Amino acid sequence: MELQRTLSVGVRDGLHARPAAQLVRLAKSFTSAVVLERGGATADAKSPLKLMLLGVKEADEVTLRTTGDDAAAALEQIAAFLGGAEAGIAPAPAAAPVIAASVAPTLAETGRRGVPASDGVAVGPVHVHAHPGLPEPLGRIAPEAAPAEVERFHTALADTLASVSARAGTLPGADLQPIVEALADVAGDPEWARLVEERIAGGADAVAAVLLAGTDVAGRFEAMDDAYARARAEDIRSVSRAVVGTLLGWTATSLAEVPAGAIVVADEVTALDLSGAPLERIAGFLCRCGAATSHAAIVARSHGIPAVFGWDEPLERLATAKVVALDGTTGEVHLDPDAATIADFQARIRARQASVAALAPYRTISPRTRDGRAVTVAANIGSLRDIDPALEAGAEGVGLFRTELVFMETAELPSEDQQTAIYREVIERFRPRPVTIRTLDIGGDKPIPAIAFAPEDNPFLGWRGVRMCLDRPDVFLPQIRALLRAAAAGPLRVMVPMVSDIDEVHAVKALIDTCRADLAARGVAHGRFDLGIMVETPAAALLAPALAREVAFFSIGTNDLTQYVMAADRTNRQVARLCRPDHPAVIEAVRLVCVAAAVAGIPVAVCGEAAARAEMVPILVGLGVDELSMSAPAILRVKKQVTEIWAVPPEARP
């Protein structure tokens, strides 16, 4: 069977390393061949390198072709991913302009500015980060030596992949680990090995072959018309250098010993370089190469490290400087600045620190509105990597733990024991603060490799959330048992997604009772949890009075509720103007839910994107929402905002 579909790509920033690697894993879960076409060029969707070289950007029109026995399922799930699937792709932090180093302004044009890559101001001593020089001239071999060189390359490649994968497994934070994992996928791509083997067959030794293949592929990325795609040349150079280092027996150049408060000065800093770096000790980055769209820039922004790239001076000159002052917002750089300049930059730093410090007290504050109403500000998380940032931001618990991401990280369904361990760790880390875990919510825009979905004309209105779970007890019952077992570790709330009918709640309750009885009969330790539902369908909003008598809490998913109330696909750019959580119809739906909850005496949370929007916070609190849950970076700001608003409308105030 051969099928095809043309669609607009909704993946944030297009198919760069991380989403390309995720798409490859999804494509490989099917036996069918999967091909993507853009602008007349095609790529095998099971090769991350070929996908990245296709240069697919957000909003590009592409044609997806699937051929084989499971072509229909492959087409549906991969099309959903391309349309904007939430497969654990953390969006790159914004706030820096998309300017490639190749078009960076030179010193002669601007005086003393580079490419602003990460906001902030820094002054500090120079720490030069330089990789060993690559061998010249490149080595040649006789034809009969080619098989041995191919074997030497594959041994070095395997050793490099093992090293990179091991490094990725120990990285802190949710931003750097998936980047390094994606680079490992690129290095392990058979297409990459084929390109190297071709050079060896042409007479190059393994080192030369890796360098030539890397230069060729990096050049293809640099020739692309998109700044984000051009920045992927950094990834290829990084992978090539790592394999060459293994072949030559080099000790990898590391940032592990960077002094506290230093400015890292380099030709280029890559994700692999950063994977060994104590980021908390780095005051700033100044690089000759790189772009605001590079992985180094993304990581710098997410960790609040000022960075300027595209600085047009030789590294030898930069290495002679003792001190650097830089402004990652404007691109301004001073090498060995005078006393007046240092004083100016230190004043800027103090001003920024004061702004951040103004929010610091809110880490330990349980916010109340000006008229005394308590509003919980919690965190949305998707994996164990998100726990530390949430706790550091002062989250008052977890308002949404997306368990589907646990299922997406493996080709097989996670076992009951594996799930129990993950849920228990989240509960223990947040104890005594409550944790709210959402049961599996896949289908629609969230495909996973381990569960095959039949083709659906409109997956958003199809077999997803609780509908799928009730039809698949082999998937749902182990999760319920895992949640009951984890509940023994601390306060837990469990919520069911995509509820549209009271019978669905009754069915879930019956399964919970069955699982509790099973665990008790086997003598397995377990606890109890409060059961709630996600309110994200118009049916649930309209049935809120009846549903409120059946559950312990409501949590409003404003993303889906908005698209269903407005009958506007949130992945369709042509109707994006309708997907507004501040639309009167959506606000009325939220009001109905809050009124029903108040009558029944149960709390209401909002865990959709609207919870972090400054203009929505007073609206939601005014409607009666008790908890706002969001990503960690927004928590302190929202806590502060809650303390500045009135929950009671002016006409009702004393």
- How confident is the model over 438-479, as pLDDT tens digits? 999 876 445 565 676 666 667 678 788 899 899 999 999 999
Q: How many CB atoms lie within 10 A of CB 505?
A: 21
Q: Return phi, psi of residue 144, to 5°.
A: -70, -15
What's the distance, Cα to Cα, between the start and end of the chain in Å? 71
Q: What is the pLDDT of residue 108?
A: 33
469 is known as an active-site residue: no
Token pair of 187 as six digits: 């290095």
Cα 1 from Cα 274, distance rounded (Å): 45
Q: What is the pLDDT of residue 293?
A: 65
Cα 283 to chain centroid distance, Å, stands at 24
Q: What is the pLDDT of residue 341?
A: 93
Q: What is the pLDDT of residue 297?
A: 81
Cα 403 from Cα 454, distance rounded (Å): 22
295 is known as an active-site residue: yes
Q: Which of 289, 469, 579, 607 is catalytic?
A: 607
Cα 93 from Cα 174, distance rounded (Å): 12
The ranges of the chain with pLDDT < 50 are 85-111, 169-170, 172-174, 444-445, 653
Q: What is the pLDDT of residue 436?
A: 98
Structural contact between residues 465 and 535, judged by C-beta atoms closer than 8 angstroms: no
Cα 626 from Cα 641, distance rounded (Å): 14
Q: What is the pLDDT of residue 102?
A: 32
Structural contact between residues 48 and 21, judged by C-beta atoms closer than 8 angstroms: yes
Which residues lie closer than 8 Å to 615 by C-beta, 6 or more apart?
582
Q: Is the peptide bond before 545 cis (omega within 30 degrees of 0)?
A: no
Token pair of 423 as six digits: 């849920």
* Identity at 509, one-letter amino acid code: K
Query: 323-327 and 121-129: which strand pairing?
Result: antiparallel
Query: Considering just the CA atoms, what is the radius of gyration of the chain in Å?
Result: 26
DSSP secondary structure letters along 635-654: HHHHHHHHHTS-SS-GGG--
Cα 532 from Cα 188, distance rounded (Å): 44
Q: What is the pLDDT of residue 650?
A: 57
What's the half-sphere exposure (Cβ side, CA atoms, 13 Å) at 178?
26
For residues 52, 57, 58, 63, the Cα torsion angle rounded to the nearest 10 degrees is -80
Q: What is the pLDDT of residue 105?
A: 34
Q: Which of 295, 515, 526, 579 is catalytic?
A: 295
> Among 288, 286, 284, 312, which residue's Cα sits nearest to residue 300?
284
CA distances in angstroms from 552 to 436, 500, 601, listed in the order given: 12, 17, 9
Token pair of 133 as six digits: 């020089």
Per-residue burial over 407-443, b = 16 or more CB atoms within 10 Å of its CB, e = otherwise: bbbeeebbebeebbebbbebbebbeebbbbbbbbbbb
Q: What is the pLDDT of residue 559?
A: 86
SS3 416: helix
Q: What is the pLDDT of residue 545?
A: 97
Cα 619 from Cα 586, distance rounded (Å): 12
